[in-house]
Structure 1
Amino acid sequence: MELRHIRYFLAVAEEGNFTRAAARLGIGQPPLSLQIRDLETEIGTRLFHRVPHGAELTEAGRAFLERVRPIPQRALEAAEAARRAERGETGVLRLGFTGTSVLHPVLGASIRAFRRRFPDVELTLEEANSAVLLGGLEEDRLDAAILRPSLSEASTIQAFALVREHLVAAVPAGHPAASGSAPLDLRLLREEPLLLTPRRVGTSLHDAAIEACRAAGFEPGIGQSAPQIASVLSLVSAELGFSLVPDALRQLSIAGVAYRDLKAPVPHVELAVAYPRQRPSRLAMNFAEMARAAAHEFEA
Structure 2
Amino acid sequence: MELRHLRYFLAVAEEGQFTRAAERLAMQQPPLSQQIRTLEEEIGFELFVRMPRGVSLTPAGQAFAEDAQRLLQELQHSVDRAHRIARGELGTISIGLTSSAAFHPFTTETIRAFRAVCPEVAVELAELNAAEIIERLAAGQIQAAFLRKPVDAREGVAFELLLDEPMVVVLPVGHPLLKGAGKKRPQVSLKALAHEDFILVRRPGAPGMYADILAACRQAGFVPRIAREVPRMVSGINLVAAGLGVTLVPASMQRYDQVGTVYCTLTNPARLSAPLHLAYPAGLRNSAATRFIELVKERVRG
- Contact 1:8-1:36 within 8 A present in 2 as well: yes
Question: Is 2:217 the partner of 1:201?
Answer: no
State the distance in 2 between where 1:202 and 1:105 align. 20
SS of match in other structure, 1:116: helix
Aligned positions of 1:264-275 closer than 5 A: 264=268, 265-275=270-280
Offset at 1:115?
0.7
* 1:109/1:291 contact within 8 Å kept: no
Could you tell me which amino acid in structure 1 is paired with residue 132 of structure 2?
V
Question: 2:287 and 2:255 mapped to 1: Cα distance?
Answer: 34
Residue 174 of structure 1 corresponds to 174
> Which secondary structure does the structure 2 equivalent of 1:150 belong to?
coil
The correspondence for 2:218, drawn from 195, 214, 239, is 214
Displacement, 1:227?
Answer: 1.7
**Larger relative strand fraction:** 2
Which of 273, 283, 287 pairs up with 2:292?
Answer: 287
Distance 1:144 1:182 in 2: 37
After superposition, the C-alpha distances for 1:176-228 in whole angstroms (9 at most, x for unaligned) are 33354574321111222332111111122212212222333333232221222
Displacement of 1:266 after TM fit? 4.2
What is the CA–CA distance in structure 1 between the aligned matches of 2:241 and 2:96, rounded to whole Å?
29
2:120 is aligned to 120
Name which of 234, 256, 278 aligns with 1:230.
Answer: 234
Q: Distance in 1 between matches of 2:85 and 2:150?
A: 32
Flag the 1:280–1:165 CA change in 2: closer, same or farther, 3 A.
farther
DSSP-derived class of the 1:225 partner: strand
1:186 and 2:176 matched:
no
1:56-112: CA deviations, max 9, x gaps? Answer: 222321221121122333222211100101111112222222222232111221111
How far the C-alpha of 1:163 sits from its partner, in A, is 2.2
Q: Deviation at 1:296?
A: 4.4
Tell me if structure 2 keeps the 8 A contact 1:89–1:118.
yes
Inter-partner Cα distance in structure 1 for 2:101 and 2:124: 16
Inter-partner Cα distance in structure 1 for 2:298 and 2:154: 22
The answer for the alignment partner of 1:254 in structure 2 is 258
* 2:61 corresponds to 1:61: yes
Classify 1:182/1:59 alpha carbon distance in 2 versus 1 (closer, same or farther; 3 Å). Answer: closer
Matched with 1:28 is 28
Instruction: Note the alpha carbon deviations across 1:212-251, whole angstroms, 9 max, x for none.
Output: 2233333323222122212212333344432211001122
Letter in 2 for 1:57: L
How many aligned residue pairs are there?
Answer: 297
Equivalent pair of 1:149/1:159 in contact (CA under 8 Å): no
Compute the RMSD of aligned alpha carbons.
2.2
**1:15 is matched by which residue type in structure 2?**
E
* Percent of paired sites with the same residue: 38
**In the alignment, what sits opposite 1:140?**
140
Matched residue, 1:85 = 85
Local SS of the residue matching 1:119: coil
1:24 shift after superposition: 0.4
Answer yes or no: is the 8 Å Cα contact 1:143–1:280 preserved in 2. Answer: no
CA distance in 2, matches of 1:215, 1:296: 34
* Match of residue 163 from structure 2: 163
| 1:159–1:274 Cα contact (<8 Å) kept | yes
- The match for 2:246 is 242
The alignment partner of 1:158 has SS state of strand
Normalised to the residue count of structure 2, the TM-score between the two structures is: 0.89
The equivalent residue for 2:3 is: 3
CA distance in 2 between counterparts of 1:271 and 1:55 reads: 70
Q: Does structure 2 retain, via aligned residues, the 8 Å contact 1:91–1:122?
A: yes
Which amino acid counterpart does residue 126 of structure 2 have in structure 1?
E
- Can you give the 5+ residue segments of structure 2 that lack an aligned partner in the other structure? none
For 2:246 and 2:197, the matched residues in 1 are separated by 6
